[in-house]
Chain A
Amino acid sequence: MLYAIIPLVVDGLANAALIFFVAVGLTLVFSVLRILNVAHGSFYSIGAYVAASMGLWLIGSGLNPWLSFPALLLSAALVAALMGPLIERTLVHWTYGRGEAVQILVTFGLFLILEDLQRIVFGVRSIYADTPMALLGVSEIGGIIYLNYQLLLIGLAVLVLIGLRMFIRHTRYGKLISAVVEDREVSEALGINTRRIFMMAFTLGVFLAALGGALATPTTGVAPGLGAETMVLAFAVAAIAGLGQVEGAAVAAVIVGLARVLAIYYVPALDAVAPYLVMLVVLLIWPFGLFGSTQTRRI
């Protein structure tokens, strides 16, 4: 029995780790900017494309394949640094304080633009760059074989969760973000540059999504449509947790990750809908999500 369950749990947690990166970025952006960014999934797919391209270039250039690991992180950082401030300042900025319909339309428009841009830049064929997974190999613990890369993903997600908590609770930026989340008006009255905080939070959200995408490349082919698929999953996770919940996003990601894997193993026909069935049940019982409330300001 244990032999059957443990690999399932590891699979589910590795899957949850990838969803967590995107969902926590989505929830962070929502908390600070109060915008449901429909284009958030595109940053995941762009992160994946950039990481896969960089990985393939590294191997093609005959460089040390272990450089693939820092390249994953570098890809996410590049995407965030280039796209985060630019998009926030030029497009997202104009939706602040406007109705949800405007925000959704603008970010949906952005999503469509980014999806087409990816097709133009990276083409429509799937890209595979699984060097990091191949390099790490497998481990056998208690007679069960694990993919080391999956264990790395789980560890990284835990590190990101702890890091985000530390960042928000203990650094000056984090305190400023919390202050802006709680009360923009007072933050402005104290002289806090809320514009800078918005840009920073948006860029951090882009980085987290792109990091999820970059880390996913060794486990899957990168193809058009990846962003949309991930976005819907991230929405489900954020809704289950309650928008604005960092730890909640982690718990919800684990629930969704495990639900998906259990569905794949036991009821394959339900694979695609399992996360949404979970979401439906959770929202029917807790309309604001497992950890949410009517006020979604806590992060």
Chain B
Amino acid sequence: MSNDQSLLSVRGIQVSFAGVKAADNVTLSIHQGDFTAIIGANGSGKTTFLNICTGYVKPQAGAVYLEGHEITALPPRDIARQGIARSFQIPQLFTDQTVRDNLMLSIAAREGVFQGFTPLDRPEYRAEADELMALVGLEQVAESLTGTLPEGLRKLADVTLALALKPRLLLLDEPTSGVSALERFEIMETLMNALRESKTTALFVEHDMDVVRRYADRVLVWDTGQVIADGLPETVFADERVIKSVLGAM
């Protein structure tokens, strides 16, 4: 049990892969309502941090707390049930199923009701899935198989799948990578509206500094497994060390 009032906090986490440090004694907190961007060069440990928070990577030292309760040792499924959802760098959807089916599956997983032989397609799940699709503008592709969607819509569907879990904290790994500059802002606008509507705290890894400047209210700068700057976007982007070691390298 941790005493601080943060939504998520990590204390002294350390992870290294074959001697390369991906998290080097990292301590930080994410507060309710924050919309935090994580930036840093490739291989600096950004995605590893998301993997640690969601249980896919177990730290060699340190601990992760969600609202003061330690979740370090929990498997990903239990962390998801505690309220941390995530999207992946490459959209991970069930490509053989429609967008609506993907969402209903996510809703059913969230409900966790053990009614295995009942149909997944229940009126209340369908209504909730439709509501979510309307929120992010996916209604037109409700019946499309997710494997057939263009990249921008796949990204959006991927994030919506995580939103369907009604998370307290949403972790997004490069939500706008692989899409055009125009689509990038469309996706972010849609996403921001959905997050505000659902009052979801979010943490997103991003390489596009325009996106970070426009949407983040806090920026964490990652460099070789350490957070070298943490603050408002305008402050962080003016930091000499950030300019030299991170922005110059991106």
Q: Are B117 and A192 in contact (CB under 8 A)?
A: no
Question: What is the 8 Å Cβ interface bit string for chain A, positions 80-97, against chain B (1 contact, 0 not)?
Answer: 000000000000000000
Asked whether any CB of chain A lies closer than 8 Å to the CB of B24, the reply is no
Which of the residues A187, A189, A193 comes within 8 Å of B54, measured between beta carbons? A189
Q: Are A178 and B97 in contact (CB under 8 A)?
A: yes
- Give the segment of B28-36, B102-110, B148-156, B218-226 that binds chain A: B102-110
Asked whether any CB of chain B lies closer than 8 Å to the CB of A165, the reply is no
Asked whether any CB of chain B lies closer than 8 Å to the CB of A112, the reply is no
Measured between alpha carbons, how far is A186 from B85 in the docked complex, in Å? Answer: 10
Measured between alpha carbons, how far is A298 from B112 in the docked complex, in Å? Answer: 24
Question: What is the 8 Å Cβ interface bit string for chain B, positions 197-216, against chain A (1 contact, 0 not)?
Answer: 00000000000000000000
Q: Are A172 and B119 in contact (CB under 8 A)?
A: yes
Q: Contacts A178-B97, A183-B92, A189-B86 hold; do A194 and B119 have CB atoms under 8 A apart?
A: no
Asked whether any CB of chain B lies closer than 8 Å to the CB of A57, the reply is no
Q: Are B105 and A176 in contact (CB under 8 A)?
A: yes
Asked whether any CB of chain A lies closer than 8 Å to the CB of B131, the reply is no
> Which of chain A's residues have a CB closer than 8 A to the CB of B185?
none
Taking the closest CB of chain B, its distance from the CB of A173, in whole angstroms, is 4
Asked whether any CB of chain B lies closer than 8 Å to the CB of A229, the reply is no
Measured between alpha carbons, how far is A186 from B93 in the docked complex, in Å? Answer: 7
> Which of chain B's residues have a CB closer than 8 A to the CB of A171?
116-120
Measured between alpha carbons, how far is A193 from B161 in the docked complex, in Å? Answer: 17
Say which size band chain B's interface belongs to: 20 to 34
Question: What is the 8 Å Cβ interface bit string for chain B, positions 74-85, against chain A (1 contact, 0 not)?
Answer: 011110110001
Asked whether any CB of chain A lies closer than 8 Å to the CB of B94, the reply is yes
Tell me the residues in window 87-146 of chain B with beta carbons closer than 8 Å to chain A beta carbons. Answer: 88, 92-97, 101, 105-106, 108-110, 112, 115-121
Asked whether any CB of chain B lies closer than 8 Å to the CB of A116, the reply is no
> Which of chain B's residues have a CB closer than 8 A to the CB of A200?
116
Measured between alpha carbons, how far is A171 from B108 in the docked complex, in Å? Answer: 12
Taking the closest CB of chain A, its distance from the CB of B77, in whole angstroms, is 5
Q: Are A191 and B80 in contact (CB under 8 A)?
A: yes
Q: Are A175 and B165 in contact (CB under 8 A)?
A: no
Select from chain B the residue with minimum beta-carbon distance to A192.
Answer: B109
Measured between alpha carbons, how far is A217 from B106 in the docked complex, in Å? Answer: 43
Asked whether any CB of chain B lies closer than 8 Å to the CB of A179, the reply is yes
Taking the closest CB of chain A, its distance from the CB of B203, in whole angstroms, is 15
> Which of chain A's residues have a CB closer than 8 A to the CB of B115?
172
Asked whether any CB of chain B lies closer than 8 Å to the CB of A190, the reply is yes
Asked whether any CB of chain B lies closer than 8 Å to the CB of A100, the reply is no
> Which of chain A's residues have a CB closer than 8 A to the CB of B97?
175, 178
> Which of chain A's residues have a CB closer than 8 A to the CB of B162?
189
Q: Contacts A191-B112, A192-B77, A193-B77 hold; do A178 and B94 have CB atoms under 8 A apart?
A: yes
Measured between alpha carbons, how far is A171 from B120 in the docked complex, in Å? Answer: 6
Select from chain B the residue with minimum beta-carbon distance to A173.
Answer: B116
Q: Are A194 and B117 in contact (CB under 8 A)?
A: no
> Which of chain B's residues have a CB closer than 8 A to the CB of A194?
77
Q: Are A186 and B112 in contact (CB under 8 A)?
A: no
Which of the residues B56, B77, B88, B116 comes within 8 Å of A191, measured between beta carbons? B77
> Which of chain A's residues have a CB closer than 8 A to the CB of B108?
172, 175-176
Residue among A167, A170, A175 with the highest chain B CB neighbour number at 10 A: A175
A-B contact pairs, 13 of them (CB 8 A): A167-B117, A170-B120, A172-B115, A172-B118, A173-B117, A179-B105, A185-B76, A185-B92, A188-B75, A188-B77, A190-B110, A190-B165, A191-B110
Extra inter-chain contacts (14) besides given A171-B119, A175-B108, A185-B88, CB under 8 Å: A172-B115, A172-B119, A172-B120, A176-B109, A183-B92, A185-B56, A186-B92, A189-B88, A189-B92, A190-B80, A190-B109, A190-B161, A191-B77, A191-B109
Q: Which 6 A-B pairs have the closest CB atoms?
A: A173-B116, A191-B80, A188-B76, A190-B109, A186-B92, A191-B81
